[in-house]
Amino acid sequence: MSQTKNQIFGREVMKPMSHGNGRNAWLWLSMAAAVWLTAAPAKAPAQPAEEVPPGPTKLLRFADISKDRVVFAYAGDLWIAAREGGAARRLTSHVGDELFPKFSPDGRWIAFTGEYDGNPDVYVLSSEGGEPKRLTFHPSNDMVLGWTPDGKNVLFRSDRYSAPPGRFTKLFLVSPQGGMPKMLPVPRGDLTSFSPDGTKIAYIETSQEFRTWKRYHGGWNLPMAVYDLKNNTYEELPKSKGMDMFPMWHGNSIYFISDSDGVMNLYSYDLGSKQTKKLTDYKEYDIKWPSLGPDAIVYENGGLLYEYNLASNKAQEIPIAVHAEDIEARPEFKNVSQNIGSFALSPSAARAVMEARGNIFTVPAEHGSIRTLTTEHSSIHELNPAWSPDGKQIAYLSDKTGEYEVYIRPQMGGDETRITTDGGVYRYGPTWSPDSKKLAYWDKLHQLWYAGIEEKKPVWVDKAEYGDINDASWSPDSLWLTYSKPHRRGSNDVFLYSLGTKKLTKVSAGFYNDANPVFDPTGKYLFFISTRYFYPSAGQLDQRYNYYTTDGIFAVTLKADEASPFKLESDEEKAGEEKKDEKKSAEVKSGEQKSEEKKKEEQVKPIQIDLDGIGARVVPVPIHPGILRGLAARKDELFYVDTPQEARQFVPNNPPRSRNVLHLFDMVKREDKVLLEGVDGYDPDKEGKKVLYKAGPVYGIVEAAPGKAKVGDGKLNLSEMQVKIDPREEWRQVFHEAWRIERDFYWDPNMTGHDWKKLGARYEALLAWVVDRSDLNYLIGEMISELSTSHTYVGGGDQPQWTHVSVGMLGADFEADGGYYHITKIYPGENWNDNTRSPLTEPGLKVQAADYLIAVNGQEARSDRDVYAYFQDLAGKLVTLKINSKPTAQGAWEITVKPTNSEAGVRYLNWIQANRHKVEEATGGRIGYMHVPDTSFGGIIAFDKQFTAQLDKDGIIVDERDNSGGQIPDFYTEKLKRQLLAIVAPRDTADVPWPPVAIYGPKVMIVNELAGSGGDAFPWFFHRERIGPIVGTRTWGGLVGIGNSQPVRDGGFVTAPGFAFWSTDNGGEWIVEQHGVDPDYVVPERPDLVVSGHDPQLEKAIELAKEALKDYKGIPARPNYPSVKE
Report CA-CA distances (Å) from 542 to 545, 546, 976, 996: 9, 11, 13, 8
In a domain, 978, yes or no: yes
Cβ pair 934, 30 in contact under 8 A: no
**CATH at residue 248:** 2.120.10.30
| Nearest in space to 97 (alpha carbons), one of 65, 127, 141, 47 | 141
pLDDT band at 600; cut points 50, 70, 90: low
Helices 756-764 and 727-745, axial angle in degrees (round to 10):
160
pLDDT confidence of residue 656: 66
Q: What is the pLDDT of residues 141-189, one digit of tens each?
A: 999 999 999 999 999 999 999 999 999 999 999 999 999 999 999 999 9
What residue spans of 547-630 are helical by DSSP H?
Answer: 580-590, 596-601
Is residue 716 within 8 A of residue 365, CB to CB? The reply is: yes
pLDDT at site 772: 95
CA 127 – CA 104 distance, rounded (Å): 9
- Distance CA(780)–CA(34), nearest Å, equals 12
Mean pLDDT over 126-146 rounds to 98
Per the DSSP assignment, residues forming a β-bridge with 244 are 258
Q: With bands split at pLDDT 50, 70 and 90, how would you rate the model's confidence at 807?
A: very high
Confirm whether 136 is domain-assigned. no
Q: Hey, which residues does 358 pair with through a beta bridge?
A: none
Domain count, the chain: 4
Q: Are 218 and 340 found together in one domain? A: no
Q: What is the pLDDT of residues 901-922, one digit of tens each?
A: 999 999 999 999 999 999 999 9
Shared domain for 631 and 688, answered yes or no, is yes
Q: How far is Cα 594 from Cα 584, in angstroms, rounded to an integer?
A: 13
Where is the domain boundary, 900, 922, 949? 900
Nearest alpha-carbon partner for 1046 in 756, 740, 778, 732: 740
> Average pLDDT for residues 595-624, to the nearest whole number?
83
**Tally of CB atoms within 10 A around 221:** 23
**Pair (1025, 1091) in one structural domain:** yes
> Do 918 and 1011 belong together in one domain?
yes
Highest mean pLDDT out of 373-382, 531-540, 746-755: 746-755
First-to-last alpha carbon distance for the chain, in angstroms, is: 83
In a domain, 712, yes or no: yes
- Give the type of residue at 74: Y
The pLDDT, as a whole number, for residue 5 is 37
Indicate the burial class of 852 (C-beta count within 10 angstroms; 0-12, 13-18, 19 or more): buried
Looking at every residue in the chain, the average pLDDT score rounds to 92
Query: What are the residues whose beta carbons fall under 8 Å from the beta carbon of 1097, sequence distance 6 or more?
Result: 961, 1006, 1008, 1031, 1032, 1033, 1083, 1085
DSSP 9-20: TTSS--------
Looking at the chain, the whole-number percentage of residues with pLDDT higher than 70 is 92
The model's pTM:
0.93
- Per the domain annotation, does 283 fall within a domain? yes
Mean pLDDT over 829-842 rounds to: 95
DSSP 961: T
Q: At residue 655, does pLDDT exceed 60?
A: yes
CATH of residue 620's domain is: 2.130.10.10
Which of 294, 324, 346 terminates a domain? The answer is 294
Q: What is the pLDDT of residues 1040-1076, one digit of tens each?
A: 999 877 889 999 999 999 999 999 998 899 999 999 9
In this structure, the answer to whether residues 865 and 945 fall within a common structural domain is no
For residue 46, pLDDT over 50 is answered with no
7 pLDDT higher than 80: no
Q: What is the pLDDT of residue 592?
A: 39
* Separation of alpha carbons 409 and 392, rounded Å: 9
Answer with the one of 722, 743, 776 that is the final residue of a domain: 722
pLDDT confidence of residue 574: 73
Distance CA 5, CA 2 (A): 10
Distance, CA of 1019 to CA of 81 (rounded, Å): 51
**pLDDT band per the 50, 70, 90 thresholds, residue 42:** very low
Band of pLDDT at residue 597, cut at 50, 70 and 90: very low
Residue 458 shares a structural domain with residue 502: yes
Residues 880 and 910 in one domain: no
Task: Give yes or no for residue 423 having a pLDDT over 90.
Answer: yes
In terms of C-beta density within 10 A (0-12 exposed, 13-18 middle, 19 or more buried), how is residue 335 classed?
middle
Instruction: Check: CB of residue 393 under 8 Å from CB of residue 408.
Output: yes
pLDDT tens column, 541-590: 887 888 989 999 999 999 999 999 998 877 778 765 555 554 444 444 43
Instruction: Look at residue 591 and tell me whether its pLDDT is greater than 60.
Output: no
Query: For 630-657, what is the mean pLDDT?
Result: 86
Q: What is the DSSP string of 76-128?
A: TEEEEEETT-EE-EE----SS-EEEEEE-TTSSEEEEEE-TTSS-EEEEEETT
Question: What mean pLDDT comes out for the span 731-750?
Answer: 97
The 10s digit of each residue's pLDDT in 937-948 is: 999 999 999 999
- Say whether both 653 and 626 belong to one domain: yes
Position 1066 in a domain:
no
Q: What confidence category does residue 231 fall into, taking pLDDT thresholds of 50, 70 and 90?
A: very high
CA 604 – CA 403 distance, rounded (Å): 36
The per-residue pLDDT for 576 is 59
Angle between helix 1096-1109 and helix 904-923 axes, rounded to 10 deg = 40
Domain with 488, as residue range(s), is: 332-565+605-722
Q: Is residue 302 part of a domain?
A: no
Is 582 inside a domain boundary? no
Residues 536 and 395 in one domain: yes
For position 699, what pLDDT does the model report?
A: 98
pLDDT at 24: 38
- pLDDT of 12 strictly over 60: no
Average pLDDT over residues 423-442: 97
Q: Residue 51 gets which letter from DSSP?
A: P
Model pLDDT, residue 51: 65
Do 854 and 921 share a structural domain? no
Question: Looking at the domain assignment, is residue 1103 inside a domain?
Answer: yes
Close Cβ partners of 518 (under 8 Å, ≥ 6 residues apart): 473, 482, 526, 527, 528, 631, 632, 633
Is the domain of 448 the same as that of 479?
yes
CA–CA dist 87, 78 (Å, integer): 14
Confidence bin at 194 (pLDDT 50/70/90): very high
Q: Is the pLDDT of residue 31 over 90?
A: no
Report the distance separating Cα 663 and Cα 683, nearest Å.
12
Per-residue CA distances from 671 to 216, 663, 668 (Å): 60, 10, 8
Partners of 1070 in the beta sheet? 1062
Strand runs labelled E in 499-576: 504-506, 513-519, 525-531, 536-538, 545-547, 551-557
Supply φ then ψ for residue 978, to 5 degrees.
-60, 140
The Cα 996–Cα 980 span in angstroms is 9
Per residue in 1010-1020, pLDDT (tens digit) is: 999 999 999 99
pLDDT at 759: 98
CA dist 573 → 576, 578, 579, 582, 1086 (Å): 9, 12, 11, 16, 91
Q: In this predicted structure, what is the pLDDT of residue 658?
A: 74
Lowest mean pLDDT among 399-413, 479-493, 637-651: 637-651
Same domain, 506 and 440: yes
How do residues 664-720 score in pLDDT, each as one tens digit? 999 999 999 999 999 999 999 999 999 999 999 999 999 999 999 999 999 999 999
Is the confidence at residue 409, as pLDDT, over 70?
yes
